[in-house]
Each structure stands twice: as C-alpha cells, then as structure tokens.
Amino acid sequence: MLDFIRRILWLTPKFFAVAVALFALYAQLLPKDDRRLPLFLNSSPGSASAASARALDLLVQDKPEARAEIERLGAFFVLYAIPRQSTLDLETRARLLEALRPIRERMGLLPSAERASRLRDETSEDTLFWTRFVEERSLDFTAQARARTIKRLLTDRLHLKGDDLRVLDTYALPALVDALGTVKSTADAERVRKLAAAIARLVDPSFALHDQPTPDEARETASRIRAYWDRAGPDFAEHAPLDRVYQSITQTEFLIWASRVGRWIIGMDQSRLAERARLDGAQSGRLYLTSVLSAIVLGPLLALALTVRALGRAERRRSLTRRLALVAILALMLGAVATSRLTPALEVSLAATLAGLTSAFVLDRELRERFDFRMTRVLSRRRPLARAVAVVNNMAPGIPTLLPLVLLEALVIPLCLPGQGQPTGFRHSLVSAFRSGDVEYLMLLSLSLGLATALLQIAADALLNVFRRRLGELR
C-alpha cells in the first residue's frame, strides 16, 4: 500500500521532469515560429527600462523604426527618456520630442487649438511640458495609484470615463491585463469589455469588444489579449533586483507554455487546442477508445477461446489456428493501411478486430509458454469448462501486465487509418503539428498519454500484487 502511495506522490515530480525533457526535445527539433525566448532560463530578462533603452538607442541612430517602437512603449519610454534628455544632442532631442507627440495625443494632453496658436516655439513647449509632466505626475506612476485608477474604471461611479487612465497610458497595461481575470458571468463580460477597450486603444484596436458581449465572446477576447501579453509583457515589466531572478524563469518558453496550459485547465482561457481536440476526438477518439477496449476485452476473450480450443485438440491443429490468427493480423493491418476509403462503421469494426487480434496474439503467445506438455496432456482430457478455468488462472496476471502497454499499441490503429480523407483526426493533427512545429499540441498529446499510462500502470501493478500473492499462496 505504501509503495502505491509513494508512486502516486512521485507522479508530479516525474511528470515535471518528463515535461521539461519533452519540451526541450520538441522545441529543439521542430521548426520555430514565434519562439524567441530561451527555453528554460533567461539570463537577461526583458524589462521596460531595457526596451526603452533600446528604443532610445534606435532614435539616437536615427533608425526609421524608432518612432513606432517609442509609440508602442508609451509612458514607460517617457519615464525613462525624459530624465535623460539632457544627455542628448539638440538634434536628437528634437527627434525625441517629435516622437513623443503621438503619446501625448494618446494621453489627451495636447494643447488646445487656441493655446497652440499662441505658442511661438512648439519644441520649447514640449520640453517644458514633458519635464513638468514627469516631475508632477511621478506619484501617479506607482503600482498603488495604477491599481486605484483601474478600480475606478471598473466601478466608474464618478463617470470619469477613464480620463485618468488615459494619462497613465501604457503604464496601466500590466494591471489592465491582470484585471481581466476569469469570465463566467455577464458581469465579468462587462468588466472585460471596459478593460479590453482601454487595452485596444493602447495596443491593437481589434481587441475592442462591442457593447453587451456574451461571456464566451469576452473570454475569447481575454484569451487573445493574454496570448499577446505572454510575448509582449516583458517589455512592460518593471522589476526590482530580486524580481530579476523570478523573471529569468518566468520569461522563458517553458513557463509561457506552462502558464497557458494552467490558464486553460482552470478555465481562464479558451484554448485553440480544445477545439482541435474535440474535432480529433470526434473522429479518431472513437477509433482509439474502441481499440483500447477491444484490446482489453476482446483480446483476452479471443486468447481464451483459442487456447481452450487448442488444448482440446491435436498439436498440429493448434499451431494452424495460431498461424491463421497471425495471417489475419497481417491482412487486417495491410487492409487498414492500404485502403483509403472506409465507411465509419467499417473503420470502427476494423479497429476493434485489429486491436483485439494484436492483444490476443500477445496473450496467446504468453499462455503457450505456461502450458507445458504435461499440463497440455492433462487438460486435453478435461471438460472445456475446466480447461477455461485453467486458462483464466494462467492468463490473469497477463492482463494487468498488458494494460499500460495497450495504450500505445492501440494508438497505432488510428494512426494507420487514413480517416476518409478528412483534414481531422490524430494522424492529420500529428503530421501537421510536426510540420508546423506546434509544440503545444504535441505536449498535450504526449503528457495526456503519459499520465494515462502512469495511472493505468499503478492500478495494474496493484492488481498484479494480488495475483502475485495468490501465486505465492498456491506454491
């Protein structure tokens, strides 16, 4: 009993180790799409100040992409660059103020038309404005003030329509994304609508939701925003020296994948894999389950029938029966592989027969070694029921031994069947996942199968212990 408790407790660390190893393997071997971060340890985690320093460097070098990058970083760049503007030459400073103008517009802080007409020198006004802005508003750019502002947006009792939030600009983004939370009710959907509107204004207009979205629509948008934030978030992160250690682990491909899976499991995010798994399950899942059940139920029954029959007959007939079984396995395997157009009913029956025969093949071979010539001679003179009892007694330990192995053997069958030419099913998904480098799908498939194998193995070993004790008692 203690052994099984220990084995169950070991499942978590074992699966963590297996997940790390699998992730490393898949990420190294498969084609890369948007994987840019280190896999497990980021020695230089991203931060707002690092991203701002890069953007300022681009501006100094007068690179064309500098303006877009500065606009993307928004308030974070302002807080970084304005205190350093005195170190820049006059030309760069003018470019800096020019680049900051869209941010000021986004904050809603451009001078009125009347005031603008009275200004003689726009550059001096900009310089003065940003210097004063950073000095006077520095207390607004703290985590506490930011949280308070977002709370005000969500309650909106003063009907401010988020004006104070506009001034915070991108500084509000991390807290806005955090506040999205889980969407279950219409109240949650309304919260996401308000937050998504603020995020869309700063990042991408496509994140905006229409009035009165349904919870499903809101969850889908929140999932898209969080998927964007997984990649973009590090450029808007502020950290104290100790946070650096934490972020060197969190800003990695593995942790991004793990947090996505975690959000999917607790129902925060909609996963694209869920829809794909549903489609695959509709086609191949049925075949797979049929194969597993057939291997566990039909296989032993077939092995029992074959052996009981063989024990009552002559040696020559017995080997002929087995030879026929072998030929049937081969013929069905070939039929499964070579035939491209099968009706669903034929596919299921083919899967059941093939899995049953494969399992019967293994058990039958195992049984053959257990009945030596003495036992065969004795049993051949007994009634079929007595022979069946003897066969069941000898076959019993074989079934739990086979259980965890069957999960993989059965998977071969849906992978063999071409699936009526439809672009769904395990085979199609597996091939396209390999081609496109879809690590998430492969990890999901691998870990689900691994977990199922582990649990089945623990249960099977518990059953085997019962048989082992029984065998011990018989001796």
Stated length of the chain = 475
Strand (E) or helix (H) holding 465: helix 439-474
Q: Which is nearer to another protein, 254 or 361 (CB)?
A: 361
CA separation for the pair 84, 49 (Å, rounded): 12
> Would you put residue 156 in left (φ > 0), alpha (ψ -120 to 50) or beta?
left
Smallest gap, in angstroms, from Cβ of residue 453 to another protein? Answer: 3
Smallest gap, in angstroms, from Cβ of residue 271 to another protein? Answer: 19
Q: Which is nearer to another protein, 228 or 467 (CB)?
A: 467
Smallest gap, in angstroms, from Cβ of residue 306 to another protein? Answer: 13
CA distances (Å), origin 105, targets 55, 127, 130: 19, 15, 13
Q: Which is nearer to another protein, 15 or 228 (CB)?
A: 15
Q: Which is nearer to another protein, 225 or 410 (CB)?
A: 410
Q: Which is nearer to another protein, 225 or 413 (CB)?
A: 413
CA distances (Å), origin 101, targets 69, 106, 326: 13, 9, 78
- What is the SS3 string spanning 273-336? HHHHHHHHHHHHHHHHHHHHHHHHHHHHHHHHHHHHHHHCCCHHHHHHHHHHHHHHHHHHHHHH
Smallest gap, in angstroms, from Cβ of residue 261 to another protein? Answer: 15
Closest CA to 360 of 404, 406, 414, 315: 406
Q: For residue 152, give both structure tokens.
A: 């005000």
Q: Which is nearer to another protein, 179 or 415 (CB)?
A: 415
Q: Which is nearer to another protein, 188 or 409 (CB)?
A: 409
- Chain residues binding another protein by CB under 8 A are 7, 14, 18, 22, 25-26, 29-30, 319, 322-323, 326-327, 330-331, 333-334, 337-338, 358, 361-370, 372, 394, 397-398, 401, 404-405, 407-409, 411-412, 415-416, 426-427, 430-431, 434-435, 442, 445-447, 449-450, 452-454, 457, 461, 464, 467-468, 471, 475
DSSP state of 31: P
CB atoms within 10 A of CB 430: 19
Smallest gap, in angstroms, from Cβ of residue 353 to another protein? Answer: 15
Q: Which is nearer to another protein, 154 or 265 (CB)?
A: 265
CA separation for the pair 149, 165 (Å, rounded): 6
Smallest gap, in angstroms, from Cβ of residue 412 to another protein? Answer: 5
Smallest gap, in angstroms, from Cβ of residue 474 to another protein? Answer: 9
Q: Which residue has the tokens 């000898």?
A: 394
> Would you put residue 422 in left (φ > 0), alpha (ψ -120 to 50) or beta?
beta
Smallest gap, in angstroms, from Cβ of residue 172 to another protein? Answer: 42
Closest CA to 130 of 162, 172, 88, 163: 88
